[in-house]
Amino acid sequence: MAALLLGTIILAALPGMPILTSAQESVSQKEPPPDVPDAIQAPADLQVVVYAHGIGSQIYTCKSEPGGKFSWILKAPDAELHDRKDKVIGHHSVGPSWKLNDGSEVTGKAAAHVDSLDPDSVPWLLVNVVSHSGKGQLSDVTAIQRVRTHGGMPPSEGCDAAHANAETKSSYTADYYFFAPAK
């Protein structure tokens, strides 16, 4: 045991050999923010605290607009949130809200958007959090980015007076980055 301890001390003391503290290790394991256009950039004083991959649907309702024209209007998202190991960690729904299995939940309001790189996909967003509930990973989150979207656009037809109030679901995926003040 003493030899093992001595070996550890000698190894740790070799010049030029990096010694990582647990704080340095946790910093290197943090999720980096995504590369996004300036319009949806999170404030510089925030850091990513949670990443989730959303898989689900965007739900649309056929509604009449002023002038009698009908269009598909977003009713709500409905998506499971997965971590990097594909484990379900929460749910994204009407609000829009994001609720994690740890009991923490945030509701947000879109602050900015840019078109998706895929023209057949919902826009990328910067969302400001407007309310919190529960304690957990989302407790301090103040901003969310939705990026790398695929799908989710409403149909281009099928919404008219004969289909008023009809609903349709459009499959989509997206990556969500949750930001909180840097500590």
Q: What is the pLDDT of residue 68?
A: 86
Report the alpha-carbon distance of residue 154 to residue 139 in Å, rounded. 32
- Domain count within the chain: 1
Establish if 30 belongs to a structural domain: no
Report the alpha-carbon distance of residue 95 to residue 77 in Å, rounded. 9
Establish if 133 belongs to a structural domain: yes
Establish if 124 belongs to a structural domain: yes
Contacts of 65 (CB under 8 A, 6+ apart): 71
* Helix or strand run (H / E) with residue 124: strand 124-133
Establish if 117 belongs to a structural domain: yes
Distance from CA of residue 75 to its chain's centroid? 19
- pLDDT confidence of 7, banded at 50, 70, 90? very low
Contacts of 21 (CB under 8 A, 6+ apart): none
Summarize the confidence of residues 153-173 as an average pLDDT: 95
pLDDT in tens, 83-135: 999 999 999 999 999 999 999 999 999 999 999 999 999 999 999 999 999 99
Q: What is the pLDDT of residue 30?
A: 85
Establish if 44 belongs to a structural domain: no
Of 64 and 29, the structure prediction assigns the larger pLDDT to 64
Report the alpha-carbon distance of residue 125 to residue 41 in Å, rounded. 9
Q: pTM to 2 decimals?
A: 0.82
Task: Supply the range of the domain harboring residue 76.
Answer: 51-181
Report the alpha-carbon distance of residue 152 to residue 171 in Å, rounded. 5
Establish if 2 belongs to a structural domain: no
Lowest mean pLDDT among 25-29, 36-40, 52-56, 174-178: 25-29
